[in-house]
Amino acid sequence: MVSLDISDEINSKYLVFGLGKTGLSIARHLFKENIDAIYYDSRSEPPEKELFEELFGKENIFLADYEESILENVTAIVVSPGISDQNKLLKLGLKKNIKIISDIDLYVESSSRDFVTVTGTNGKSTVTELISYICNKSKIKASAGGNLGIPALDLLSDDAELHILELSSFHLHRCDYLPSKVAVLLNISRDHLDWHRNEDHYKKCKFRILRDANSSVYNHGINDIGKYLNSNINVGFGAEVKEKSFGILEENNSFYLCYGKEKLINCNKLKLNGNHNYENILAALAASRLIGIDLSDALDAICSFQGLPHRMQSISNHNSIEYINDSKGTNVDAAIASISSLKKKVILLAGGQSKGGNFEQFAEAIKNKVKRAYLFGEDAKIIGNELNKFVPVVFVDNLEDAVILAKKSSSPGDVILLSPACASFDQFDSFIHRGKEFERIVGEITK
């Protein structure tokens, strides 16, 4: 377990690596704890540079190139998520036996409240928000954060009874101890292979969420999941109906959420559609039960949950052509799930940075749903080499060209779907930026 006590080490200090939103959260937390720190970013113009300089002084901030002496008297490096172990400064720190920790380690050390953790390749933001939503509807004051929106350390200043933390594989890679009240593992598929050493390393990071949990919610479709369940209280969910587990039952052309063979609710009462969303809802229901919420209260809450922006968000229906923003579809499995959930023919807008996705699998899975694809971004050719075996493909320079050409080639009844199957950082600041740009472009061409 990480300890913040460094009082016995004269002149010792922490190094905060990453001058973005999470780094700022870490820096403010250390300041409150009276822990001396310096601040580093490998970029010459990190997003919060000016604020760091104002709050902590230019003399304590180091950017881009650095001297080895920067680590003098440093006892721990607190790393923002997404910074790889292959970074030269981190390698040097490890060589000097300096602790490498995350904001989540500091959160666990400092928090006296119960917390729930959620991870998975896809769906974790939706489930994190949904669990929080169910809690608040059920008179348990909860707040959500972590990888989603508010950094975990910023939650320490609120008055919530329970924190719901979304954790990425980057967070979990460095977590030392994670005694969640409930740990939720949604699914695991290929992702972030540009960052992790290999697929096995990525999976091990995801499984780490279960190690210290008091209770666990797990997808019973994950291979060998039983080997990783350390808690005595484990609740499964998934697409199949299983005894003492939450599942999806199809009967007479209707879908039902169920527990075992007991029907809980007809899915036509839900605002979120598609099997991937039904599984997300099941995970939230299971977590709610372990939190102590009555099942009937949780079922009432899920019926009014609207979902999150940039996730299969219908933004326009112009001349009988629907435009859907699924910018959060940043990997192959997420995009497949989104495309498969649609009943109409799809004109697909995709591309960006591929993160090691399997686009042969992607093309095979969507070939009967997509009538045409417009591809843009760094890895458009990689996607197109597989997709054009089944679907007409057009390569374009950017998202705006893709939207304009998609509109020209569309017919009434079509869906124009942005579901990139890739990360956004080649052309955008984030998936949110990409989604907002899509909405802006659609707004302009449908006036």
Task: Write the single-letter amino acid at 11.
Answer: N
Q: 162 and 230 in one domain? A: yes
Integer Cα distance of 9 and 256 in angstroms:
60
Say if 4 falls within a structural domain.
no
Task: Write the single-letter amino acid at 153.
Answer: L
Say if 3 falls within a structural domain.
no
Side by side, which strands form the sheet with 370-375?
313-318, 321-325, 415-418, 346-350, 370-375, 393-395
Q: 131 and 94 in one domain? A: no
10-residue mean pLDDT profile of the chain (447 residues): values are 54 94 98 97 95 97 92 97 90 96 98 98 96 99 95 98 96 95 92 65 92 98 92 95 96 96 97 95 99 98 96 96 97 95 96 93 97 98 98 98 98 98 97 98 97
Residue 93, domain CATH: 3.40.50.720
Q: 221 and 277 in one domain? A: yes
Say if 402 falls within a structural domain.
yes
Q: What is the pTM of this model?
A: 0.91
Give me the pLDDT at residue 77, please: 98
Q: How many domains are contained in the chain?
A: 3
Residue that has been written with the tokens 């949604």 in this structure? 186
Residue 403, domain CATH: 3.90.190.20
Q: 367 and 264 in one domain? A: no
Q: Which of 272, 302, 332 is the last residue of a domain?
A: 302
Query: Could you tell me the residue range of the domain that residue 364 belongs to?
Result: 313-445
Q: 346 and 320 in one domain? A: yes
Say if 5 falls within a structural domain.
no
Q: 118 and 68 in one domain? A: no
Give me the pLDDT at residue 149, please: 87
Question: What value does the CA radius of gyration of the chain take, rounded to a whole number of Å?
Answer: 23
3-state secondary structure the chain: CCCCCCCCCCCCEEEEECCCHHHHHHHHHHHHCCCCEEEEECCCCCCCHHHHHHHHCHHHEEECCCCHHHHCCEEEEEECCCCCCCCHHHHHHHHCCCEEEEHHHHHHHHCCCEEEEEECCCCHHHHHHHHHHHHHHCCCCEEEEECCCCCHHHHHHCCCCEEEEECCHHHHHHCCCCCCCEEEECCCCCCCCCCCCCHHHHHHHHHHHHCCCCCEEEECCCCCHHHHCCCCCEEEECCCCCCCEEEEEEECCEEEEEECCEEEEEHHHCCCCCHHHHHHHHHHHHHHHHHCCCHHHHHHHHCCCCCCCCCCEEEEEECCEEEEECCCCCCHHHHHHHHHCCCCCEEEEECCECCCCCHHHHHHHHCCCEEEEEECCCCHHHHHHHHCCCCCEEECCCHHHHHHHHHHHCCCCCEEEECCCCECCCCCCCHHHHHHHHHHHHHHHCC
Q: 169 and 187 in one domain? A: yes
Q: 258 and 230 in one domain? A: yes
Cβ burial, residue 66 (10 Å; 0-12/13-18/19+): middle
Say if 350 falls within a structural domain.
yes
Give me the pLDDT at residue 6, please: 46
Give me the pLDDT at residue 194, please: 65
Q: 321 and 248 in one domain? A: no
Vertex 65 angle, CA 47 and 152, to 5°: 40
Q: Which of 302, 334, 368 is the last residue of a domain?
A: 302
Integer Cα distance of 257 and 140 in angstroms:
24
Q: 319 and 262 in one domain? A: no
Assign residue 252 a region (left: φ > 0; alpha: ψ between -120 and 50; beta: otherwise).
left
Taking residue 358's Cβ as centre, other Cβ atoms within 10 Å add up to: 17
Say if 26 falls within a structural domain.
yes
- Spacing of C-alpha 210 from chain mean position: 17
3-state secondary structure 379-419: CHHHHHHHHCCCCCEEECCCHHHHHHHHHHHCCCCCEEEEC
Integer Cα distance of 402 and 438 in angstroms:
10
Task: Write the single-letter amino acid at 57.
Answer: G
Q: 283 and 195 in one domain? A: yes
Q: 325 and 297 in one domain? A: no
Say if 441 falls within a structural domain.
yes
Say if 213 falls within a structural domain.
yes
Integer Cα distance of 426 and 9 in angstroms:
43
Q: Which of 57, 73, 103 is the last residue of a domain?
A: 103
Give just the sign of the alpha carbon dihedral 353, 359, 272, 343: positive
